Chains A and B, each alone.
Chain A
Amino acid sequence: MKRREFFDWLIGISGTVLGGFVLYPVARYLVPPPTPEAATRRVIAAKKDELQPGSFKTFPFGGQPGILIRTADGEYRAFTAVCTHLGCTVQYRGENKTIWCACHNGTYNLEGANVSGPPPRPLERFDVHVAGDLIMVEKAKGA
């Protein structure tokens, strides 16, 4: 190898290494640090007389929306409100007793199963407990 070729090679390698040293912290800086997943397992979703039969409300559950539904016969059901298709927040439609995502017209039944439209998976179901005046929603055991 001639001296000129050696120095060309050396400068090329040095430049690449230097570029790497400059770009590495920038690239790492651009990626946000991981935020620990909220350890929430149980929240107060509503007060006992807050929901009329056939109505619903959404509530925060570990940084994500959850949905609490009071069916026409007065039973409470709770699910994650994050649509399994593309992440929109679902709502309850009392007239046809379905959980509906307005974004892409996906529907789930009152068991949380995806029944029509593009959602590929069912909604995660939560346990509901009535404790005195409060409706508590809790992640299902094993979830």
Chain B
Amino acid sequence: MIAALGRWLTDRLGLDTFRELAEHKRVPVHRHSFWYYWGGMTLFLFGVQVVTGILLLLYYRASADEAYESVRFIMAQVSFGWLIRSIHSWSANLMIGAAMIHMFSAFLLKSYRAPREMTWLSGMALLGLVFAFGFSGYLLPWNQLAFFATKVGTDIAGALPVVGHFILVFLRGGENITGGTLTRFFGFHVAVLPAIVTVILGLHLYLVQRHGMSVPPSVEEAQAKPGAPPPRMMKFVPNFALRDAVGWLAALGVLALLAALFPWELGRKADPYAPAPAGIRPEWYFAWMFQTLRMLPSKILGLEGELVGILGITVAGLGWAAVPFLDDPKGRGQRARLWTWIGVVAIVYIIVFTWLTYRDVKP
């Protein structure tokens, strides 16, 4: 009976194509294969975000008068509400961490080389969207930290030349942070961003299937030497998928542990006229930018320091995204060590400046 139903569905849905795809998909095995798991890990944590986000939607109310109270209601009154919200918050942080590890490993292993430029670009777009999810979601509890994080974040966008003020007004829904901003951010967080992510994630996954896993240049060179053993491969289903599943199970355990031991705080309700509290700092993934802006003097070469900082970070981000076209532009397949060093410097910069934030600014 079940077999007959399976055949019926296979005929109508063309499931053979997917079965064949799964059977033939192989993953290269070498000393850097560990880094292949981080894309799947990011995807798993995104799935956790979707599920817990939908659950939170059942009780959350997106208005300045009710948002804070509704989150407090979720945390204090709804059965396991504290768990769902804490997992949503922790998973957001772990997802951003996994996405950053995935991005940096792809950078250092030069996975962006031809023909995977579009895979890299779509990945960078997804990373930007993940940050946008973090930024828009942060305001939704309508607490004091969220209020100032949004104020600073939108002011940073507003400082951009020419388009800055337009972006600021568009994001805030006016000149100031109000209930209208909260409604907008809610719309971005639960409708606009998920719709865009669905399209770009689909493209990213399609490109990964189309081009297969990238093998780092050092491994390629070793494999090309005369007498080298043939490249080792692993079946995606079930071998790699099961290893993926072990990682996801571990992530679920870590999430449960973090949520149980460190439930996400709600803080104080936003007051648009209260001073920014001492010790205010952004989430860890924005800390390096925060520290950079904090340390810049008010004037640099006659320009406002914040403008120089924001433009510098913007140019660096665009250069980072354009690395497939900057590294080895002549297409000789040579390994440009310069870009590896740039990657290492970027990682060290982010780590050091994040540490400085946590050293200097204590709540």
How long is the Cα–Cα vector from A104 to B155 in the complex, in angstroms? 13
Q: Decide: A118 and B276 in contact? CB cutoff 8 A.
A: no
Q: Decide: A31 and B169 in contact? CB cutoff 8 A.
A: yes
* Chain B residues with CB under 8 A of A58: 273-275
Complex interface residues of chain A between 96 and 124 (CB less than 8 A to chain B): 101-105, 114, 117-120
* Chain A residues with CB under 8 A of B148: 88-89, 103
- With CB as the reference atom, state the residue of chain A lying closest to B169: A32
State which of B174, B279, B298 has its C-beta within 8 Å of the C-beta of A117. Answer: B298
Given contacts A102-B280, A103-B148, A120-B299, contact A89 B174 (CB under 8 A): no
Q: Decide: A104 and B293 in contact? CB cutoff 8 A.
A: yes
In the complex, how many residues of chain A place their beta carbon closer than 8 angstroms to a beta carbon of chain B?
29
What's the least CB distance linking B65 to chain A, in Å?
A: 17
What's the least CB distance linking B293 to chain A, in Å?
A: 6
Q: Decide: A89 and B293 in contact? CB cutoff 8 A.
A: no
How long is the Cα–Cα vector from A1 to B298 in the complex, in angstroms? 62
* Chain A residues with CB under 8 A of B306: 85-86, 118, 120
* Chain A residues with CB under 8 A of B169: 31-32
Given contacts A87-B155, A89-B274, contact A31 B294 (CB under 8 A): no
* Chain A residues with CB under 8 A of B166: 31
* Chain B residues with CB under 8 A of A94: none
Contact with A along B165-191 (1 / 0, CB 8 A): 010011001111000100000000000
Q: Decide: A105 and B294 in contact? CB cutoff 8 A.
A: yes
In this assembly, does A40 line the interface, its C-beta being within 8 Å of a C-beta of chain B? no
Given contacts A87-B155, A114-B298, A120-B305, contact A32 B275 (CB under 8 A): no
In the complex, how many residues of chain B place their beta carbon closer than 8 angstroms to a beta carbon of chain A?
33
How long is the Cα–Cα vector from A31 to B170 in the complex, in angstroms? 6
In this assembly, does A54 line the interface, its C-beta being within 8 Å of a C-beta of chain B? no
In this assembly, does B296 line the interface, its C-beta being within 8 Å of a C-beta of chain A? yes
* Chain A residues with CB under 8 A of B273: 58-60, 65, 81, 89
Q: Decide: B174 and A35 in contact? CB cutoff 8 A.
A: yes
State which of A64, A87, A91 has its C-beta within 8 Å of the C-beta of B275. Answer: A91
In this assembly, does B156 line the interface, its C-beta being within 8 Å of a C-beta of chain A? yes
In this assembly, does A142 line the interface, its C-beta being within 8 Å of a C-beta of chain B? no
- With CB as the reference atom, state the residue of chain A lying closest to B304: A120
- With CB as the reference atom, state the residue of chain A lying closest to B275: A91
* Chain B residues with CB under 8 A of A90: 275-276
What's the least CB distance linking B28 to chain A, in Å?
A: 44
Q: Decide: A118 and B278 in contact? CB cutoff 8 A.
A: no
In this assembly, does B152 line the interface, its C-beta being within 8 Å of a C-beta of chain A? yes
Other than the known A85-B298, A89-B276, what 20 A-B pairs have Cβ atoms closer than 8 Å?
A30-B170, A31-B166, A31-B170, A58-B275, A60-B273, A65-B273, A81-B275, A85-B306, A87-B152, A87-B155, A88-B148, A102-B277, A102-B279, A103-B276, A104-B290, A117-B294, A118-B294, A118-B296, A118-B297, A119-B298
Between A and B, 27 residue pairs with Cβ closer than 8 Å are A31-B169, A31-B170, A32-B173, A35-B175, A58-B275, A63-B175, A63-B176, A64-B176, A85-B293, A86-B156, A87-B151, A87-B155, A88-B148, A89-B148, A89-B273, A89-B274, A89-B276, A102-B280, A104-B293, A104-B294, A114-B298, A117-B294, A117-B298, A118-B294, A118-B297, A118-B298, A119-B298
Which A positions have Cβ atoms within 8 angstroms of B?
A: 30-32, 35, 58-60, 63-65, 67, 81, 85-91, 101-105, 114, 117-120
